[in-house]
Amino acid sequence: MKTGNTETEVLQKFLADRRLNRSRVREEILDVFLRAERHLTADQLYQLARRRLPSVGYATVYRSLKIFCDCGLCRPIKLENEPVRYEHLYRHDHHDHLVCTRCGRLVEVFDPTLEQLQEKLGRKHGFQMERHRLELYGICPECRKKGGPDDRN
Amino acid sequence: MKTGNTETEVLQKFLADRRLNRSRVREEILDVFLRAERHLTADQLYQLARRRLPSVGYATVYRSLKIFCDCGLCRPIKLENEPVRYEHLYRHDHHDHLVCTRCGRLVEVFDPTLEQLQEKLGRKHGFQMERHRLELYGICPECRKKGGPDDRN
DNA sequence: AATGAAAATGAAAATCAATATCATTTTACC
DNA sequence: GGTAAAATGATATTGATTTTCATTTTCATT
């Protein structure tokens, strides 16, 4: 099912600029990706896509994801001990990740003061800053309440 | 060559606690690792180790690195588009990484205010903070001077 | 609608880092 | 020295991702 959303337009513009073709398969994959819970792995997207496109291959999913990333619709995020996940990016503000080391819960956080300090720290070393990646690891409120056998970790 | 350093003692204590054996091969690998430039990949360590231990295998290097990490002597760091590198940890203070996106140069940085803010941000969300990972990406002073064809990236 | 060139696709093979298997060798202890 | 457990090295395996390549699809042009 096609949706006339702006993400699709971003993709179309990206393709047009490069004289690339549109394709039904890729657009279906994008639609599946956009509707899905955030932070899918390539394999999860592949599994979902196969419901609509039973013959789609891994390679096409990977190729599509690469294009989506190139046109700024998503971004790969690699957390520890996990396969790469892809995060929606378009019209989502920059944020960092707060990860629970017990249950894996992922919270998106943002602190402008932190952002400024990071920028400043880079500049202090003469760098022209482009971006950063911050992951905070800890135990989320729910897991803290539960306690558990590995409470001391 | 053996050195009576504390890192070796840390390893020996770790092994003793678990009733594991010492081994000449592993101690040589540790010595090579400690003397080397920081942030080696497993493969680089393997190449270096082979100079002293011509018959050593990849598996042993990986196994040794895992043990070194487990006993707190090093830590894997995974930067974007790079194989995992291992960073010396023992008696090294915590720091973040400032990475040049042009030449790959790696600078270790530290800012106590930043550290506090990160801690605080996690606590604000009810997390019991354990650690964090911050990577700052930008263009280093040298590469900025050089300019270059992809100056706008 | 038919054509043809370029792009996209899917299946399968290749790659690459990392891990597991297993027969052989070392270590620690008697 | 003998022995059981641990470590090793060679090799196979895994798992995610990329590449290859023959086939199909797209799209501008007839």
Pair (B61, B31) in one structural domain: yes
Residue A5: is its pLDDT beyond 50? yes
The domain boundary residue, chosen from B60, B88, B116: B88
pLDDT tens per residue, range B42-65: 999 999 999 999 999 999 999 999
Contact yes or no for B101 and A130 at CB 8 A: yes
Pair (B125, B77) in one structural domain: no
Q: Is the minimum distance from the CB of B25 to strand D below 7 Å?
A: yes
The answer to whether position B129 is within a domain reads: yes
Task: Locate the chain A residue with the closest alpha carbon to B96.
Answer: A134
d(CA A13, CA A29): 17
The answer to whether position A66 is within a domain reads: yes
The residue length of chain B stands at 153
CATH of the domain at A118: 3.30.1490.190
Pair (B136, B66) in one structural domain: no
Residue B56: which domain range?
A: 6-88
Least-confidence region, from A21-25, A49-53, A76-80, A146-150:
A146-150
Pair (A47, A71) in one structural domain: yes
Pair (A82, A114) in one structural domain: no
d(CA B52, CA B32): 9
- Per-residue model confidence (pLDDT) at position A59: 96
Pair (A67, A32) in one structural domain: yes
Beta-carbon contacts of B121 under 8 Å, excluding residues fewer than 6 positions away, are: A96, A98, A109, A111, A114, A136
- Per-residue model confidence (pLDDT) at position A78: 84
Tell me which residues of chain B have a pLDDT lower than 70: 1-5, 147-153
The residue behind tokens 């760098």 is A127
The domain boundary residue, chosen from B71, B88, B105: B88
Pair (B103, B57) in one structural domain: no
d(CA A64, CA A86): 12
- Per-residue model confidence (pLDDT) at position B151: 37
The residue behind tokens 């890192």 is B7
Pair (B23, B80) in one structural domain: yes
Determine whether B100 is exposed, middle or buried from the number of CB atoms within 10 Å of its CB (0-12, 13-18, 19+).
Answer: buried
Beta-carbon contacts of A128 under 8 Å, excluding residues fewer than 6 positions away, are: B138, B139, B144
The answer to whether position A105 is within a domain reads: yes
Instruction: Give the amino acid at B66.
Output: K
The answer to whether position A152 is within a domain reads: no
Beta-carbon contacts of A38 under 8 Å, excluding residues fewer than 6 positions away, are: A87, A88
Determine whether A108 is exposed, middle or buried from the number of CB atoms within 10 Å of its CB (0-12, 13-18, 19+).
Answer: middle
d(CA B58, CA B152): 41
d(CA A65, CA A73): 9
The domain boundary residue, chosen from A42, A67, A88: A88
Shortest distance, CA B43 to any CA of chain A (angstroms): 20
- What's the token pair of residue B26? 């592993």
- DSSP letters spanning B11-23: HHHHHHHTTPPP-
Residue A7: is its pLDDT beyond 60? yes
- Per-residue model confidence (pLDDT) at position B82: 80
Pair (A77, A101) in one structural domain: no
- Per-residue model confidence (pLDDT) at position A148: 54
Q: Which position has the higher pLDDT, B98 or A3?
A: B98
Shortest distance, CA A6 to any CA of chain B (angstroms): 25
Instruction: Give the amino acid at A135.
Output: E
Query: Bridge partners of A45?
Result: none
Residue A3: is its pLDDT beyond 50? no
Pair (B48, B82) in one structural domain: yes
d(CA B93, CA B78): 19
Contact yes or no for A130 and B137 at CB 8 A: yes
The residue behind tokens 């043990």 is B67
> How many distinct structural domains can be found in chain A?
2
Closest residue by Cα to residue B128 from A142, A138, A148:
A138
The answer to whether position A50 is within a domain reads: yes
Distance set, CA B37 to CA A24, B32, B41, B111, B117 (Å): 50, 10, 11, 24, 31
Strands B85-88 and B40-41: antiparallel
The arrangement of strands across the sheet holding A85-88 comes to A40-41, A85-88, A74-77
The answer to whether position A151 is within a domain reads: no
CATH of the domain at A33: 1.10.10.10
The answer to whether position B127 is within a domain reads: yes
Chain C, protein-covered positions (CB within 7 A): 6-13, 16-21, 26-28
Pair (B47, B79) in one structural domain: yes
Pair (B77, B101) in one structural domain: no
Task: Locate the chain A residue with the closest alpha carbon to B84.
Answer: A80
The answer to whether position B108 is within a domain reads: yes
pLDDT tens per residue, range A36-50: 977 899 999 999 999
pLDDT tens per residue, range A48-94: 999 999 999 999 999 999 999 999 999 998 887 778 999 998 888 88
